[in-house]
């Protein structure tokens, strides 16, 4: 029964173009080119664990000391102990006007004192800025490394300059050693990001990020197995460039370099639109148009196309958020809120604004 299931799953008619068999694309010493080995994809999991260990070391030895030297807060001001207010807060029903009045009468405190305690207690549960700084600093460092690696690997490759070379000769396209490491590096980082979602600061778009990482991993695996690594490498390069600038912008903002972060945000927005809304859709467009000139359609090609379109939908969603931030910055000078930031950041900023008004 297991053999029957595997035979259906690895059906050549699904994975490969017509008139191509697994024997044609399996790696071996007698082949003219080096084909991808689907077992290699699983090496990315232990590599991801090594990346997480490296992240832990850099966090303790570099990012935390750097953040403290920049004056980034690593603790939250705690609300003064009050058992009855704590019990009301732990009930989780929120704070409305009726509850404020009732607590004010019960505890002989003013409504403003209760509101202030409640805000401080909420902030106490939020992650410190130093934690968010370290997370963004790690992602900035690795994405910068992977972007430089991608440019180094792909600069001399013909498909970087002419997308038709992603399809010419497919699927008999050999993979070089540098391309192997570039793909495995991206694989490992996506695995590590997926694992770390469980303990990293929870972002506003947590569900979208889970979808993004799951889709990216599936795309990497499927493109690796069916030897479509050329198109995959272009998608990786397009994604890393804007993602690195996003994390760099957040890192600078956490360090309170406001003017620099505004300049970085302008650069990031420009690169995001250029890569995610221009180049990336062009790559997708090339599959059913230019690809059909060289390769007859097969089911896996349409599956990969569907996953790429799902990522495009996420890109459009994030672009809308970016444009909202840009509008607020241009009209109101409001730069504290940014896309894909934690909800705690928004709470912190709104609290700070309210405190300032009351003072």
Checking if the pLDDT of 310 tops 60, the result is: yes
pLDDT for 75 equals: 66
Say which range, 67-81, 202-216, 318-332, has the weakest mean pLDDT: 67-81
Kindly list the domain boundaries of the chain, sorted by start residue.
2-70+128-358, 83-124
> Could you read off the pLDDT of 90-117 as tens digits, one per residue?
666 667 677 777 777 777 778 787 777 7
pLDDT at 351 over 60: no
Would you say residue 319 has pLDDT above 90? yes
pLDDT in tens, 173-192: 999 999 999 999 999 999 99
Q: Which residue has the tokens 């009726």?
A: 98
Among candidate residues 110, 111, 119, the one with its CA nearest the CA of residue 80: 119
φ/ψ bin of 76: left (φ > 0), alpha (ψ from -120 to 50), beta (otherwise): beta
More confident: 155 or 212: 155
- Taking only the tens place, the pLDDT of each residue in 74-90 is 766 666 676 767 676 66
Give whole-number Cα distances, 60 to 56, 136, 244, in Å.
6, 14, 22
At which residue do the structure tokens 């444009």 appear? 323
pLDDT at 344 over 50: no
Which residues are CB-contacts of 326 (< 8 A; sequence separation ≥ 6)?
A: 265, 269
Calpha distance 80→245 (Å, rounded): 40
Residues 67 and 255: beta-carbon distance below 8 Å? yes
- Helix boundaries (H) for 27-154: 44-58, 64-69, 83-90, 97-107, 111-124, 129-154
Give the chain's mean pLDDT.
84
pTM comes to 0.81
Give dist(CA 335, CA 332) in Å, integer: 9
Whether residue 247 contacts residue 139, with contact meaning beta carbons closer than 8 Å, is answered with yes
Please give the Cα distance from 253 to 167 (Å, whole number): 42
Q: What is the CA 99 to chain-centroid distance, rounded?
A: 40
In order, the DSSP letters of 261-307 are HHHHHHHHHHHHHHIIIIIHHHHHHHTTTTGGGTS---HHHHHHHHH
Note the pLDDT of residue 354.
43
């Amino acid at each position: 029964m297991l053999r029957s299931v595997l035979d259906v799953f690895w059906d050549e008619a699904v994975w490969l173009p017509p008139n191509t068999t697994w024997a044609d694309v399996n790696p071996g010493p007698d082949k003219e080119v080096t084909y991808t080995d689907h077992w290699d994809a699983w090496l990315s999991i232990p590599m991801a664990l090594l990346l997480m260990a490296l992240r832990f070391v850099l966090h303790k030895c570099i990012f935390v000391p750097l953040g403290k030297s920049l004056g980034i807060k690593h603790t939250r001001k705690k609300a003064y102990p009050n058992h009855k207010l704590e019990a009301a807060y732990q009930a989780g029903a929120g704070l409305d006007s009726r509850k404020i009045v009732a607590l004010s009468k019960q505890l002989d405190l003013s409504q403003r004192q209760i509101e202030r305690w409640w805000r401080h207690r909420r902030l106490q549960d939020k992650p410190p800025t130093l934690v968010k700084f370290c997370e963004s600093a790690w992602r900035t460092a690795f994405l910068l490394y992977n972007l430089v690696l991608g440019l180094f690997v792909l600069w001399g490759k013909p498909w970087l300059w002419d997308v038709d070379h992603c399809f010419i000769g497919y699927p008999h396209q050999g993979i070089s050693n540098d391309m192997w490491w570039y793909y495995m590096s991206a694989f490992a980082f996506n695995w590590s990001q997926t694992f770390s979602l469980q303990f990293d600061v929870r972002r506003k778009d947590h569900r979208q990020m889970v979808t993004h990482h799951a889709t990216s991993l599936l795309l990497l695996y499927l493109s690796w197995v069916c030897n479509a690594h050329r198109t995959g490498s272009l998608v990786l390069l397009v994604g890393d460039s804007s993602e690195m600038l996003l994390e760099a912008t957040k890192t600078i903002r956490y360090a309170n370099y406001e003017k620099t972060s505004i300049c970085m945000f302008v650069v990031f927005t420009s690169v995001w639109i250029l890569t995610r809304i221009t180049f990336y859709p062009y790559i997708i467009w090339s599959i059913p148009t230019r690809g059909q000139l060289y390769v007859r359609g097969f089911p896996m090609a349409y599956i990969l196309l569907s996953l790429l379109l799902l990522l495009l939908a996420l890109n459009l969603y994030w672009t809308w958020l970016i444009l909202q931030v840009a509008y607020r910055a241009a009209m109101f000078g409001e730069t504290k809120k940014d896309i894909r930031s934690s909800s705690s950041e928004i709470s912190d900023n709104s609290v700070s604004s309210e405190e300032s008004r009351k003072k």
